[in-house]
A and B are shown apart, each in its own frame.
Chain A
């Protein structure tokens, strides 16, 4: 139990949070602008990782692979919007859940059919491996620091996009009144495709970046998807600001809970029982957090539709 451990775990929490934000921002945009629940968002995460792994393996360049991953996820997203999602906007949420769940199955089995069921190999490039020594003698992997950096850069870019550009204005307008912006003569179907592809591209970027750290395999998107849903519910559905805050909150609470709860229980319980109880409680912690926040703020921290 030391200060360096705490600093390192806080960094880990922020890093998890920024990656969750990349997932959650797309999810919350799609829900906020189009009112669509998209369970297949995790599939774009997987598509991004697989495309990156394939292109990196054949070209030898991680950056090229990363570009390919984002492009692949965004174009698959645009295609899915044109072919399937478009027909779902006026359907009830239950139909949307059913249809996008079917998409998960199609993407998973399709990926297995093309790539086989063994995990693919993808590692960070050599110039991003290793670690740096931070003040206080904390060693931290360069790659994870880079992830935090990318997360912050994307957050700023998204903020600028939404608050300073014409597209952002339309997105904000779409969030507050969907029918009115159509009536004002804005090509709403083009806007929808664009927003959907943007969200898918961000998910693909997250999948590619995290895939290099974890494993690239079929079904890798679903656990992240569940966390991303928790994030947008906490942050307030449709709100980018809420997604950012929710993601950081979930990342930090989850990471610190996993480490410190077992240690906390060890102060008054035998070690093996304490780790059991502590890790079981840590697994529930973010859901408890969500329940607490919803009890006081039923629409989340920042609701887009007040």
Chain B
């Protein structure tokens, strides 16, 4: 009995020792590290951790959990992080449907959430919140920018294609919003579809002069390989989600020549980006993707805000986040009134790299200072 009390005392003592470090900052990261599309989560995590390491701070603790792309799991992990670990900040979610399951309740309970990838329209508009910051993009941004770019380049009869699910229909709506012209046709594919022979035949049969598509992950790989062997000669356009450095290596030569919009490119010239790309390659021995860049920026934004305030002082910390006083790897970066980025969107072309493998090369800016269209619905 005595021993048990002593043990209890010891535990009490040690737990009070832990709380003695109240100044430490705890960050919970829920991201996709297994299952389909896990390379996105891995890159967000690696970019994030690289920034922390480069900062040299040892008072920031990051707890990482895998959501396996399941909304229910992500939700219970977020509860665990908030109630058991009492984290100050949550981040990491890749997919919009998971973000919608987690973010609203997290921010309502007073924890900060910084999105390193997902940017569903509801969170930018009517469900925006003072504790929610999106450091990546609003989902429409890249598609809309491609619409504007194609209009400017003089493509008059695009045919557009996406899977038949919310992010797919949003992508085509975003494209049409800034393309501001008639499209020849809209094709909706099935989620997870692997064979595109029927769609390719339709595209060939139409009189389109260009193709814009949004097929994230494995769908894009299948489509582009089949596109190449079909003999259809039409320029390809898309958002960076189908053309990250890892995906285009799996596509191979079929991706060469495709143009894609991105908020970041590894050959973008600025000091922060040099430091990031070199550091990332040295640490992980591979080329970073845009997801890694977003993770890196998210961490640097948090670090910059920590310079002025601790997350316990919510108002001061929030103000510090809003100021976005950090060197972003994508050049200029600021927040709009709904705490989503106002940023330049770039165009990249897939070319054959020095090692013979396809890689992205920066071509220029598609749209300067793009802002989402939902900020007017946001009342904060």
Contacts and interface: CB of A to CB of B under 8 A. Distances in A.
A119 B225 CA distance: 13
A1 B195 CA distance: 21
B189 interface: yes
A187 interface: no
Tell me the interface secondary structure of chain A in the complex.
helix
Given A12-B198, A214-B194, A258-B198, A141 B218 contact: no
A139 interface: yes
Nearest to A215: B221
Interface residues of B, number: 41
B256 to A, nearest CB: 13
Nearest to A131: B231
Contacts of B252: 121, 123
Contact of B249 (A2, A121, A129, A210): A121
Tell me the interface secondary structure of chain B in the complex.
helix
A1 B206 CA distance: 9
Interface in A107-158: 109, 112, 117-121, 123-124, 129-131, 139, 141-144
A93 B196 CA distance: 35
Nearest to A251: B195
B231 A5 contact: no
Contacts of A109: 34
Given A9-B201, A220-B194, A259-B201, A123 B225 contact: yes
A130 B232 CA distance: 10
A214 B198 contact: no
Contacts of B226: 141, 213-214
A141 B250 CA distance: 20
Given A12-B198, A12-B201, A258-B198, A213 B186 contact: no
Contacts of A130: 229, 231
A141 B222 contact: no
A119 B226 CA distance: 16
B165 to A, nearest CB: 11
A90 B1 CA distance: 55
Contacts of A119: 218, 221, 247, 250
B281 interface: no
A275 B186 CA distance: 7
Contacts of A275: 186-188
A144 B222 contact: no
Interface string B228-256: 11110000000000000011011111100
Given A5-B201, A255-B197, A131 B222 contact: no
Nearest to B226: A213
B192 interface: yes
B190 interface: yes
Contacts of B247: 119
Interface string B26-52: 000000001110110010000000000
B308 interface: no
Contacts of A217: 36, 218, 221
Contact of A2 (B189, B205, B230, B250): B205
A204 to B, nearest CB: 17
Interface of A: 1-2, 4-5, 8-9, 12, 15-16, 109, 112, 117-121, 123-124, 129-131, 139, 141-144, 210, 212-215, 217-220, 223-224, 255, 258-259, 262, 271-272, 275-276, 279-280, 282-283
18 contacts: A12-B195, A16-B195, A112-B34, A118-B249, A121-B252, A123-B225, A124-B229, A131-B229, A131-B231, A142-B229, A214-B194, A215-B222, A217-B36, A219-B35, A255-B197, A259-B201, A275-B186, A280-B164
